[in-house]
Amino acid sequence: MKPKRRRAGLLPALLLLLALALGACRVQPAKSQLLTLDGQPWEGGSLSPEAGDGLRVYITLDGAPLADLPFGEAHTVAICQPEGENIVAITGDAVYMARADCDNQDCVNMGEVTRENLEMRVMGGFIICLPHRVSVEVRGD
């Protein structure tokens, strides 16, 4: 008969790995981001809160609100972080990620959000840059 070898459990090892990953990804260096609106430095927050038809563009970094703008006005917002830069373009009837210097370019290729396709997109009103942890959402109130 073959001698039975004692083995450490595979299941606990995998679950431990998952727990470690969950913990580790929340450990992040302190943020120092720079925001510009149409090329000018901007402190973020709410831009013309009363404007338009209620549809607004919400930009968040790591889940924390950074800025919100009316959907109907043309603006360009740049979010600069140590890890890279994102430029969000709002044209008046569409929102899209104009540029990002991340490695996968998913956010740039995600396409635009318009009034018409808001309910048809798989990602809803969201455009997300995972490497830079930036999320842009078009949402009505």
Partner 1 sequence: MKRKSTAVALYGLLIALMLVLGLLDKAIPITWFLSGVIPGVKLGLANTVLLYALYLMDRRAAALLMVVKAVLSGFIYGSVTAIFISLSGGVLSLLVMMLIKRSPRAGALGVSALSLAGAAFLLLRGTKLRGDMLWCAILLGLAALAGIGAYLYIRRHPDNGVVSTSMAGAVAFNIGQTLMAVYIVRLPTQLLYTYMPFLVGMGAVVGCLTGIVSRRVFRVLKAGGFAN
Q: How far is the CB of 92 from partner 1 (least distance, A)?
A: 20
Q: Does 30 bind partner 1 (CB under 8 A)?
A: no
Site string for partner 1, 81-110 (x = CB under 8 A): ----------------------xx-x--xx
**Torsion over CA of 103, 106, 111 and 115, rounded to 10 degrees?**
-120
CA–CA separation, 138 and 119 (whole Å): 11
Nearer of residues 1 and 21 to partner 1, judged by Cβ: 21
H-only helix segments in the chain: 10-24, 106-109
Binding segment (CB under 8 A) for partner 1, from list 14-22, 32-40, 66-74, 86-94: 14-22
Q: Considering only the stretches 31-39, 49-57, 72-80, 119-127, report the one whose residues sit in contact with partner 1 under the rule CB under 8 A.
A: 119-127
Using rule CB under 8 A, residue 17 touches partner 1: yes
CB 39 to partner 1: min, Å = 27
In this structure, the dihedral spanned by the alpha carbons of residues 62, 65, 67 and 72, taken in order and rounded to 10 degrees, is 100
**What does the alpha-carbon distance between residue 94 and residue 79 come to, in Å, rounded to a whole number?**
19
- Nearer to partner 1 by Cβ, of 21 and 50: the residue is 21
- 3-class secondary structure, 59: strand
Q: Which two tokens stand for residue 55?
A: 């549809």
Rounded (to 5) percent helix, strand, coil in the chain: 15, 40, 50
| Binding region for partner 1 (CB under 8 A) | 7, 10-11, 13-15, 17-18, 21-22, 24-26, 60, 62-64, 103-104, 106, 109-112, 117, 119-124, 126, 128, 130-131, 133, 135, 137
